[in-house]
């Protein structure tokens, strides 16, 4: 929006109405230059109002021949602006500003031209000029703040918005812009203040109340958030979002009865059963990765459930899992073993807890729980598999194979278990069993990249069926061309085939994705050694030894070279 220009001649509109100066006077030599200029200006303005911009320009230019007035230059600039002829508009408005450098109307037109050209820096400079002239120029302040936002200068924008608020009080549009900036800046305290100000203008705005309540929660002001949510809930008890937040607050405050009561209303029930309450706890537990505050809620729920149902295992299991998140390993063990104490006929508790111990590298406890479960459920393939993994983790892979075999016997279509068993056979030198297991897995999924890669590497290590190994490796690399292990396998097969150039290429590619692999560094040293490049062979063998100082065979290679 542009201000009306301040034309030097007073009474233009009056002149238009009573026609004291006729257009024919423009050619009368007895008429003064000012009167002639006024006549052409009036004619130009009339044509402009009729959208005859070309005619208006002609008359304004004729007016300028008789009087170089600020108002005429400005009017001409505005017509060019309407025609999107921004260069011409700038020329004419600058002509006006040379006569009157502080003319606010002309400066505003100039700023409008810069904005149209997306030259926001010059537009900002121009508005700053106007504000230096007139500090109460609210429209200019608002425009300047918007320009600062366009220039990605929110700190400057917020200063201007605060000035506007100081001058005119609260304004919806200004407050919304301030809120947006504060949120982007993560200045949640000030964002709170803005929303509180908006509520003074519109105290019944539900959406603003929700935003403010969520900010209160973020800022730890639970009681303030509760008050707002309860106000909204009174007005609209069917609002599921508000119900959810209230339930969360009640659980955080250990008001579990009230929380479950509200949750049952959300589900359209009179009350919740034990399992439904567990599901509520699981809901918040599963939200922990997205929202840290859900951990406290889940902990309160399962603590209350363990008190209400002391002989049920699930609450203890989840309390143990939360203890682990809080790095309270001793408390976690206590809760896990209490869960097992009340497990009765449930397989899940043994599976979940033994696997959790395995993940924590607590192999003794993992085996202990798996054994307790297997005593009741000897054919549970998951427990057999977890015990095998735990034995393998503790360095007893030979015994682990027994449990992998049991798991595969029960669940023979699981590719992951078959792959684990085949790899264990590899490590123990049971190559025929290994190949048979890989072949079984590939019958189920012929394109499985992991199985293809492992099988190919196994063949290359044994130095047999290298063409078959290369074919399988190519499929794995095609499926995952940035997998460092797959690239190394491909390179190692070429090494075994004595194609050292290709071997070097793929092994170097593997190191580009994983430069810290002791095995791959050693492989590259082996390739250089085969190429009679002793200097590089030693270089990469020594790098490998730094990563794995216990590699005796590598030490022997270095000493020998």
Integer-rounded Cα radius of gyration of the chain: 40
pLDDT at 197: 78
- Asked if 396 and 402 count as a contact pair (C-beta separation under 8 A), the reply is no
- Asked if 434 and 403 count as a contact pair (C-beta separation under 8 A), the reply is no
Return the ∠ at Cα 539 (arms to 537 and 542), rounded to 5°.
Answer: 105
The pLDDT tens digits along the chain (561 residues) read: 344 443 433 333 333 333 333 344 445 554 577 888 788 888 888 888 888 888 888 888 888 888 888 888 888 889 888 889 989 888 988 888 898 888 888 888 888 888 888 887 787 777 777 777 777 666 666 666 676 666 666 666 666 666 666 565 555 666 666 667 667 767 778 778 777 777 777 777 788 888 888 888 888 888 888 888 878 877 777 777 777 777 777 777 777 777 777 666 666 666 778 888 888 888 888 888 887 878 888 888 899 899 989 999 999 999 999 998 999 989 999 999 999 988 877 888 899 999 999 998 999 999 999 999 999 999 999 999 999 999 999 999 999 999 999 999 999 999 999 999 999 999 999 999 999 999 999 999 999 999 999 999 999 999 999 999 999 999 999 999 999 999 999 999 999 999 999 999 999 999 999 999 999 999 999 999 999 999 999 999 999 999 999 999 999 888 887
Q: What is the DSSP letter of 31?
A: S
pLDDT at 35: 81
Rounded to whole angstroms, the Cα distance separating 255 from 269 reads: 19
- Read off the pTM: 0.57
Q: What is the DSSP letter of 24?
A: G
Q: What is the DSSP letter of 8?
A: S
- Asked if 266 and 246 count as a contact pair (C-beta separation under 8 A), the reply is no
């Amino acid at each position: 929006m542009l201000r009306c220009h301040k034309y030097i001649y007073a009474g233009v509109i009056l002149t238009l109405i009573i026609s004291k100066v006729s257009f024919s006077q423009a050619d009368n030599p007895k008429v003064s230059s000012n009167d002639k200029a006024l006549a052409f200006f009036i004619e130009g303005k009339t044509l402009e109002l009729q959208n005859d911009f070309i005619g208006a320009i002609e008359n304004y230019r004729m007016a300028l021949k008789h009087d170089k007035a600020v108002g005429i230059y400005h009017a001409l600039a505005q017509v060019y602006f309407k025609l999107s002829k921004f260069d011409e508009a700038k020329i004419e408005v600058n002509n006006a500003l040379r006569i009157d450098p502080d003319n606010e109307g002309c400066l505003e037109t100039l700023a409008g031209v810069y904005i149209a050209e997306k030259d926001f820096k010059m537009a900002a400079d121009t508005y700053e000029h106007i504000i230096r002239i007139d500090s109460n120029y609210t429209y200019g302040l608002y425009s300047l703040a918007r320009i600062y936002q366009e220039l990605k200068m929110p700190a400057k924008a917020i200063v201007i918005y605060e000035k506007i608020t100081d001058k005119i009080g609260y304004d919806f549009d200004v407050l919304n812009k301030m809120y947006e900036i504060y949120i982007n800046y993560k200045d949640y305290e000030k964002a709170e203040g803005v929303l509180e100000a908006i509520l003074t203008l519109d105290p019944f705005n539900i959406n603003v109340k929700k935003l403010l309540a969520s900010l209160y929660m973020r800022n730890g002001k639970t009681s303030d958030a509760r008050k707002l949510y309860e106000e909204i809930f009174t007005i609209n008890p069917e609002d599921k979002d508000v119900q959810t937040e209230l339930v969360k607050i009640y659980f955080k405050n250990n008001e579990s009865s009230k929380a479950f009561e509200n949750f049952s209303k959300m589900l359209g029930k009179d009350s919740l059963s034990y399992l439904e309450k567990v599901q509520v706890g699981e809901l918040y537990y599963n939200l922990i990765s997205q929202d840290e505050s859900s951990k406290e809620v889940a902990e309160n729920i399962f603590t209350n459930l363990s008190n209400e149902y002391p002989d049920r295992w699930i609450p203890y299991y989840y309390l143990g899992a939360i203890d682990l998140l809080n790095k309270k390993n001793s408390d976690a063990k206590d809760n896990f073993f209490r869960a097992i104490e009340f497990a009765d006929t449930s397989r899940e508790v043994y599976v979940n807890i033994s696997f959790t111990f395995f993940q924590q590298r607590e192999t003794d406890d993992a085996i202990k729980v798996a054994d307790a479960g297997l005593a009741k459920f000897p054919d549970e393939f998951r427990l057999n598999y977890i015990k095998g993994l735990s034995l393998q983790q503790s360095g007893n892979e030979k015994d682990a194979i027994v449990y992998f075999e049991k798991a595969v016997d029960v669940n023979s279509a699981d590719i992951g278990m078959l792959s684990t068993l085949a790899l264990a056979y590899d490590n123990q030198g049971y190559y025929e069993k290994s190949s048979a297991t890989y072949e079984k897995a590939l019958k189920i999924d012929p394109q499985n990249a992991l199985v293809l890669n492992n099988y190919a590497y196994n063949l290359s290590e044994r130095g047999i069926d290298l063409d078959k190994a290369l074919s399988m490796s190519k499929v794995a690399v095609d499926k995952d061309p940035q997998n460092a292990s797959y690239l190394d396998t491909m390179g190692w097969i070429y090494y075994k085939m004595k194609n050292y150039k290709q071997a070097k290429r793929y092994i170097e590619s593997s190191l580009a994705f994983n430069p810290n692999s002791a095995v791959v560094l050693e492989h590259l040293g082996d390739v250089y050694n085969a190429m009679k490049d002793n200097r590089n062979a030693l270089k990469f063998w020594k790098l490998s030894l730094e990563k794995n100082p216990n590699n005796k065979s590598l030490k022997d290679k270095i000493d020998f070279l």
